[in-house]
């Protein structure tokens, strides 16, 4: 079978695009691996929820978006933030609780946001972004410039009532909302299948919108589904639902072992199966690009190194930052400090 690369070319714009997808995934992977290490070694101020293993979903979707398309994310939002063009420096400074953070240290890991890039933000409430994205989609529709509003959420959030509400409103008003359900099979510390009736995608079908269930660890499959959904938004044809079937390798949060005190909701074998080279989204895409002659071992080593260096620089930036300004809390909430 002729590989896609043969028709699309081993060099040129299409190949460059593939390299960009890989680079973005590598940046997310290295950034989050570093967060895990730092949390373990010296600790980070708050809870850290990592998306290692889910990078293809974030990158595949966000690679189809323009800077002024809107995006809401989840508590597991570092990947979405970086995929939509957020800076790793200011994200790390935020997680370190510094004034130089993208939210000046007021939000932290669960609330990274960058409105200059359409990143409405991560959200500490499971399902918290669904209605907000729908509101941004309403704004986009009123603006009439063809913007889309992407809402990332998990299979856990799909059991929140607001999921049905926001799909209903998006559908009746033909809003440019793209519901991206990152189905990792886990609802915090509970296996989703034990708390979920029917198929999630059927819920979206019931509201009359196009539904695509894709291999969420295949960045091209995700990208192709997202592209169709974005084009639909641009044409004013209304919302879409994309389900990216994936898996999170790390715990619900980094302190998980401590919290669960020996308890477990999954087996080591299950994690290993998803971690395998032919299943992990980053190594899979790396192997594919090698096979297609787009990215050989040397090129890959170079990209990998560059991503690591960016992450090192981000740690330096974060550590060097000034502590957050306490006065800002009052200013931002319109309150006079108590005398």
Partner 1 sequence: MTRKRYTQAINEALHEEMGRDPKTILFGEDVALAVFGDTRGLLDRFGPDRVRNTPICEATIAGMAVGAAAAGYRVIIHMLFSNFIYTGFDAIANQMAKLRLMTGGQIDLPITVLAVYGGGASQAAQHSDSNHPVLMNLGGIDVLVPATPGDAKGMLKTAIRNNRPSFFLQASGLGAVGGDVPDGEHLVPLGKASVAREGRDVTLVNVGSMIRATQNAAKKLAEAGIEAEIVDVRSLVPLDETTIVESVQRTGRLVVIDEARDMCSAASQIAAVVADKGFSALRAPIRRVTVNNVSMPYAPNAEAAIFPNADDIVRAATALCQPEVAAA
Taking the complex as a whole, the smallest distance from the CB of residue 131 to partner 1 amounts, in Å, to 2
Shortest distance (Å) from residue 324 CB to partner 1: 9
Residue 147 CB neighbour total at 10 angstroms: 21
User: CA dihedral in degrees (64, 68, 70, 76; nearest 10)?
Assistant: 70
Give the nearer residue to partner 1 in terms of CB position, either 101 or 185.
Answer: 101
Minimum distance of partner 1 from residue 63's CB (angstroms): 22
Which of 20, 331 has the CB closer to partner 1? Answer: 331
Who's near 226: CB < 8 A, 6+ residues apart?
Answer: 60, 61, 63, 64, 150, 178, 180, 242
Compute the least distance from the CB of residue 298 to partner 1, in Å.
41
Distance CA 307, CA 295 (A): 15
- Smallest distance, Å, CB 193 to partner 1? 25
Q: Read off φ and ψ for residue 265, nearest 5 degrees.
A: -115, 5
Closest approach of Cβ 335 to partner 1, in Å? 7
**List of residues 6+ apart from 73 with CB closer than 8 A:** 80, 81, 112, 119, 120, 121, 122, 123, 129, 152
Helix (H) or strand (E) segment spanning residue 245: strand 240-245
Residue with smaller CB distance to partner 1, 37 or 116? 116
- Residues near partner 1 (CB under 8 A) are 70, 72, 101-107, 111, 113-116, 120-121, 123-125, 128, 130-140, 142-143, 149, 161-162, 165-166, 168-169, 172-173, 328-329, 331-335
Q: Which of residues 140 and 221 has its CB atom nearest to partner 1 in the complex?
A: 140
Q: Count of CB atoms within 10 A of residue 181's CB?
A: 27
The two three-digit tokens of residue 214, written as one number: 């894709």
């Amino acid at each position: 079978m002729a590989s896609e690369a043969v028709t699309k070319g081993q060099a040129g714009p299409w190949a460059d695009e593939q390299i960009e997808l890989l680079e973005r995934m590598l940046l997310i992977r290295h950034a989050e691996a570093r967060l895990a290490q730092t949390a373990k070694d010296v600790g980070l101020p708050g809870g850290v929820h990592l998306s290692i293993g889910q990078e293809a979903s974030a990158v595949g979707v966000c690679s189809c978006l323009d800077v002024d398309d809107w995006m809401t994310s989840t508590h597991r939002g570092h990947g979405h933030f970086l995929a939509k063009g957020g800076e790793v420096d200011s994200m790390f400074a935020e997680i370190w609780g510094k004034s130089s953070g993208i939210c000046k240290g007021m939000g932290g890991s669960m609330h990274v946001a960058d409105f200059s890039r359409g990143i409405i933000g991560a959200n500490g409430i499971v399902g918290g972004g669904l209605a907000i994205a729908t509101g941004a989609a309403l704004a986009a529709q009123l603006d009439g410039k063809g913007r889309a509003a992407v809402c990332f959420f998990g299979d856990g959030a799909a059991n929140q009532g607001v999921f049905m509400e926001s799909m209903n409103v998006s559908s009746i008003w033909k809003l440019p909302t793209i519901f991206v359900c990152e189905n990792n099979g886990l609802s915090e510390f509970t296996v989703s299948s034990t708390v979920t009736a029917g198929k999630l995608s059927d819920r979206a079908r019931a509201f009359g919108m196009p539904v695509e269930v894709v291999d969420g660890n295949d960045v091209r499959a995700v990208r192709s589904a997202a592209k169709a959904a974005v084009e639909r938004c641009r044409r004013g044809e209304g919302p879409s639902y994309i389900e990216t079937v994936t898996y999170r390798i790390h715990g619900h949060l980094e302190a998980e072992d401590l919290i669960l005190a020996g308890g477990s909701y999954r087996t080591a074998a299950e994690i290993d199966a998803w971690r395998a080279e032919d299943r992990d989204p980053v190594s899979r895409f790396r192997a594919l690009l090698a096979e297609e002659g787009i990215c050989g071992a040397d090129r890959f080593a170079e990209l990998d190194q560059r991503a690591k260096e960016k992450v090192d620089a981000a740690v330096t930036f974060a550590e060097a930052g000034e502590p957050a300004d306490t006065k800002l809390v009052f200013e931002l909430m319109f309150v006079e400090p108590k005398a």
